[in-house]
Amino acid sequence: MENGRSIRVRGQVQGVGFRPFVWTLARRLGLRGHVLNDPEGVLIHAVGADLDGFEAALIAEAPPLARVDAVESHTLQGDFGPDFRIAASTGTGAETRVTPDAATCPACLAEIRDPKERRFGYAFANCTHCGPRFTILKALPYDREKTTMAPFVLCSDCRSDYEDPADRRFHAQPVACPECGPKLWIEPRTDLDPIAEATRHLKAGRVLAIKGLGGFHLAVDARNAEAIDLLRRRKHRPSKPFALMGALDVVCEYAAPTEQERDLLCSSAAPIVLLERIGAALPDGIAPGQVTLGWMLPYTPLHHILLDAFDGPLVMTSGNLSGEPQVIDNEEAREKLGGFADAFLMHDREIARRLDDSVERITSQGPMVLRRARGRVPGTLPLPPGFEEAPQVAAFGGQMKGAICLIKNGQALLGHHLGELDDALTYDAFLQADADYADLFDHRPEVVAVDLHPEYRATKHGQARADQDGLRLERVQHHHAHLASCLAENGWPLDGGKVAGIILDGTGLGDDGTLWGGEVLLGDYRGFERRAWLKPAPLIGGDMAAREPWRNALVRLDQAGLSDWADELFANKPLAMARMAAERGVNAPMSSSAGRLFDAVAAILGHCADGQSYEGEAAMSLEALARTSSGLRRDSLAIGVPVASMIDGALDPSEMIRHLITMRKAGAELADLAFAFHLWLARCFEGAVTTAIAKTEAKAVVLSGGCFQNALLLELMVGSLHQHDVLLHRQTPANDGGLALGQAVVAAARHI
Ligand code: ZN
Ligand code: ZN
Ligand code: FE
């Protein structure tokens, strides 16, 4: 018997090369013992001289995709054997974590560029530190047989890579080479090299459909304005920004990424990052009216070899029919994308799970997640202190930007972005994701959480599941869920006290039956009070009001006593009918939505008045416009900003609207007016927090809701709140993509 140690490592430590890393480290330090995977993570039994150094190195030198949450150890008496070895996994029902898909690592990239290597030019190279994971996973545990790599039988070379603990590919499930792995081809079929052919099509201004990691993309040459127009016409997508892909040096020709932005671009998650346009110009058709462009780096070997050959930036937009989910199947692609694409770059590795590209940006306040998908899911967040005993919860999110959240064992898993559940196929994808996540995580909820809105498809689904399985159903107010999601992300303890929530959002059903969206809430996970709100205005035509910003402009101008101005601005609109609907309350529900106020101001300043071709277009163009306002003019405050008045909790924007019109008549720059509106909104809500909530009542201020995707608003808001502790979203979306997390923790808090 010897005195050694039992060491437990928790976190993202499975499927990331942790055991071979431990094995190598232990041998280096001359330790004896073993390492294995079990349901709790990685377990090590070791004996030797420097066990403290060993434990420190487990954290300091962990492999790239690992995340060590905790190392716990105690002394152990036993027989540690003659050497150090990797032992068989133990335990059943293992919660074997699957890591997110990871961008090609530097070692694999060097290999596919080296003619001496057998994986030279190979589109499906990967290793333990990179490659497909969640997108190829069919079931747990994560073994090759349970992935879409199953049909590809390892050749002897790949098998020896796979079995050698000293190799980078030890136990890399998707390991492959040109001999044994997936193959690439081009359609229409030719015998020519598929990459050379694909490049030729792109150079000729044609549209290429590319089968990627989580779905198909449609690609065109980003420097070719005609090709971009062609793609827009074929896709019936007049103005929604296209994403771009380019190597880092190419990105730097058109943008000047900061160090933080570079790190994000180059991270293994490889999201689309919104970058300011700086340097050489690209056709405006890529993102009409936007000051930023969404860039991503090539993240699979296929993308790398294509971009190496093409040598320039590509537009890479998701391959789908308008409003539908991204296409993932070869046959489906031929059928649905045949009308858009001139050629297809295809392969025979099946995509098990559709994952859009994640979209993120770096703001003055740090990272911001706009869309959480590939590279981020199925990552989990530890729940805050106090939630240790939380029951298993399934939360189903809202109607827009659908996403599901599961709670289990003190962790929250926020699922991938699904899209707008109005679309039938997206709703199918939602149902599939529900079954899929439940299966993968062996999830057996006791509690189901849904929005208050009875007509959301997600609500109906949650209700049906609760009825069917006899689960407890918790309805969570939309903006309370936004507040709670921000608290959860920030690790705010269950009993951490109340916070003031500034929730600036589109719309969500309030507990008084009206639609909310510009709120100051005082509350915590367990409950809330509504302390202040934007003065409500009717949404003329219901959902139409969100699509046609002139409707919101009309009611805000009328409220401000500027009906003449509305008559002039919107002379070609059915104003009399609209006003009658507003007056009589016919299909004109009242709403305090900040999102709709953005629409109103955008329309007043001449942006998107007639209609938005995508959700958020008016608000995004207002932010873009405000960003062009010159700092000098701002500082001299020629623009001025009126103080918002609050009467019985209602914040009236009329004074601000009158100010905008007066300044506009006086010839002020539109950009300055757009900026003034942002500043007014920030000051207005800072004022509301200060007046409506006593200092002793709230311990911090939470910012959440879709409007906080607006980096300028966020910056101004945080600036106005400099005397408060402010909690923001950094890893989860402030928009409805993060709603399910908030619903889940609110529901959990009711059952602890
Ligand atoms: Zn690699
Ligand atoms: Zn092989
Ligand atoms: Fe919302």
CB-based contact 697:362 (threshold 8 Å): no
pLDDT at 189 over 60: yes
Beta bridge partners of 530: 521
**Helix, coil or strand: residue 684:** helix
Looking at the structure, do residues 547 and 679 belong to the same domain, yes or no?
Answer: yes
- Domain C-terminal end among 86, 105, 132: 86
pLDDT of residue 661: 95
What is the residue range of 220's domain? Answer: 184-347
Q: Which residue among the candidates 19, 354, 376, 683 is catalytic per the annotation?
A: 19
User: What number of other Cβ atoms are within 10 A of residue 549's Cβ?
Assistant: 27
pLDDT of residue 12: 85
Q: Is residue 385 part of a domain?
A: yes
Looking at the structure, do residues 306 and 389 belong to the same domain, yes or no?
Answer: no
Q: Which residue has the higher pLDDT, 566 or 613?
A: 566
Q: What is the pLDDT of residues 19-28, one digit of tens each?
A: 999 999 999 9
Cα atoms found within 13 Å of the Cα of residue 435, Cβ hemisphere only = 7
Nearest to 69 by CA among 28, 97, 91: 97
Q: What is the pLDDT of residues 88-140, one digit of tens each?
A: 887 765 455 688 999 999 999 999 999 999 999 999 999 999 999 999 999 87
Q: How far is CA 380 from CA 9, 359, 369, 600, in A?
A: 16, 18, 15, 38
Q: Looking at residues 145-165, what average pLDDT do you find?
A: 95
- Which residues, including other chains, have CB under 8 Å from residue 488's CB and lie 6 or more apart? 381, 383, 384, 412, 525, 741, 742, 745
Q: What is the pLDDT of residues 267-302, one digit of tens each?
A: 999 999 999 999 999 999 999 988 899 999 999 999
Q: Which ligand is nearest to the CA of 126?
A: 1
Write the Ramachandran bin of 220: left for phi over 0, alpha for psi from -120 to 50, otherwise beta. Answer: beta
* CATH code for the domain in which residue 63 is found: 3.30.70.100
From ligand 3's centre to the CA of 204, what distance in Å? 43
From ligand 2's centre to the CA of 143, what distance in Å? 17
Q: Which residue among the candidates 5, 32, 37, 490 is catalytic per the annotation?
A: 37
pLDDT of residue 15: 81
For residue 145, give the DSSP letter: G
Domain count, the chain: 4
Q: What is the pLDDT of residues 336-388, one digit of tens each?
A: 999 999 999 999 999 999 999 999 999 999 999 999 999 999 988 999 999 99
Counted residue by residue, the chain has a size of: 752
Q: Which ligand is nearest to the CA of 153?
A: 2
E strands in 39-82 = 41-47, 67-78
Q: Is residue 742 part of a domain?
A: yes
Q: Which ligand is nearest to the CA of 152?
A: 2
Q: Is the peptide bond before 367 cis (omega within 30 degrees of 0)?
A: no
Looking at the structure, do residues 340 and 381 belong to the same domain, yes or no?
Answer: no
* CATH code for the domain in which residue 449 is found: 3.30.420.360
From ligand 2's centre to the CA of 181, what distance in Å? 6
From ligand 1's centre to the CA of 24, what distance in Å? 18
CB-based contact 558:600 (threshold 8 Å): no
pLDDT of residue 639: 60
From ligand 2's centre to the CA of 111, what distance in Å? 14
From ligand 2's centre to the CA of 504, what distance in Å? 53
Q: What is the pLDDT of residues 465-513, one digit of tens each?
A: 999 999 999 999 999 999 999 999 999 999 999 999 999 999 999 999 9
Percent residues over pLDDT 90 in the chain: 89
Q: Which ligand is nearest to the CA of 181?
A: 2
Tokens of 447: 């509690």
Looking at the structure, do residues 448 and 581 belong to the same domain, yes or no?
Answer: no
Looking at the structure, do residues 569 and 701 belong to the same domain, yes or no?
Answer: yes
pLDDT at 255 over 80: yes
Q: Is 335 exposed, middle or buried (0-12, 13-18, 19+ CB in 10 A)?
A: exposed
**Helix, coil or strand: residue 518:** strand
E strands in 444-483 = 447-451, 472-476
Q: How confident is the model at residue 695 (pLDDT cuts 50, 70, 90)?
A: confident
pLDDT at 441 over 90: no
**CA-based radius of gyration for the chain:** 27
Residue type for 465, please?
Answer: R
- Tell me the C-alpha distance between 363 and 532, whole Å: 27
* CATH code for the domain in which residue 589 is found: 3.30.420.40
Looking at the structure, do residues 82 and 192 belong to the same domain, yes or no?
Answer: no
Q: Which ligand is nearest to the CA of 180?
A: 2
From ligand 1's centre to the CA of 126, what distance in Å? 5
**Helix, coil or strand: residue 271:** coil
CB-based contact 482:704 (threshold 8 Å): yes
Q: How confident is the model at residue 645 (pLDDT cuts 50, 70, 90)?
A: confident
From ligand 2's centre to the CA of 208, what distance in Å? 28
Q: Is residue 324 part of a domain?
A: yes
From ligand 2's centre to the CA of 118, what distance in Å? 9
In the predicted model, what is the mean pLDDT of the chain?
94
pLDDT of residue 42: 92
Looking at the structure, do residues 717 and 611 belong to the same domain, yes or no?
Answer: yes
- Tell me the C-alpha distance between 474 and 471, whole Å: 10
**Helix, coil or strand: residue 222:** coil
* CATH code for the domain in which residue 214 is found: 3.90.870.40
pLDDT of residue 96: 54
Looking at the structure, do residues 595 and 662 belong to the same domain, yes or no?
Answer: yes
- Domain C-terminal end among 55, 86, 117: 86
Buried b (16+ CB within 10 A) or exposed e, 179-215: eebbebebbeeeeeebbebbbbbbeebbbbbbbbbbb
pLDDT of residue 714: 98
- Domain C-terminal end among 86, 117, 149: 86
Q: Is 552 a catalytic site residue?
A: no
Q: Is residue 119 part of a domain?
A: no
Place of tokens 């001496």: 116
Q: Which ligand is nearest to the CA of 734?
A: 3
Looking at the structure, do residues 296 and 215 belong to the same domain, yes or no?
Answer: yes
Looking at the structure, do residues 375 and 253 belong to the same domain, yes or no?
Answer: no
Q: Which ligand is nearest to the CA of 109?
A: 1
Beta strand pairing call for 314-318 and 292-296: unpaired
User: What number of other Cβ atoms are within 10 A of residue 521's Cβ?
Assistant: 27
Residue type for 314, please?
Answer: L
Looking at the structure, do residues 677 and 698 belong to the same domain, yes or no?
Answer: yes
CB-based contact 417:403 (threshold 8 Å): yes
CB-based contact 547:536 (threshold 8 Å): no
From ligand 1's centre to the CA of 168, what distance in Å? 8
- Tell me the C-alpha distance between 339 and 215, whole Å: 17
Q: Is residue 102 part of a domain?
A: no
From ligand 3's centre to the CA of 508, what distance in Å? 6
- Which residues, including other chains, have CB under 8 Å from residue 22's CB and lie 6 or more apart? 35, 42, 44, 58
Q: Is 320 a catalytic site residue?
A: no
From ligand 2's centre to the CA of 95, what distance in Å? 30
Looking at the structure, do residues 633 and 705 belong to the same domain, yes or no?
Answer: yes
Beta bridge partners of 317: 218
- Tell me the C-alpha distance between 480 and 498, whole Å: 12
- Tell me the C-alpha distance between 644 and 656, whole Å: 8
Distance between the two ends of the chain, CA-based, in angstroms?
45
Tokens of 245: 């892909």
Give the angle subtended at the CA of 477 by the CAs of 452 and 359, to the nearest 5°: 100
pLDDT of residue 440: 85
- Tell me the C-alpha distance between 601 and 363, whole Å: 23
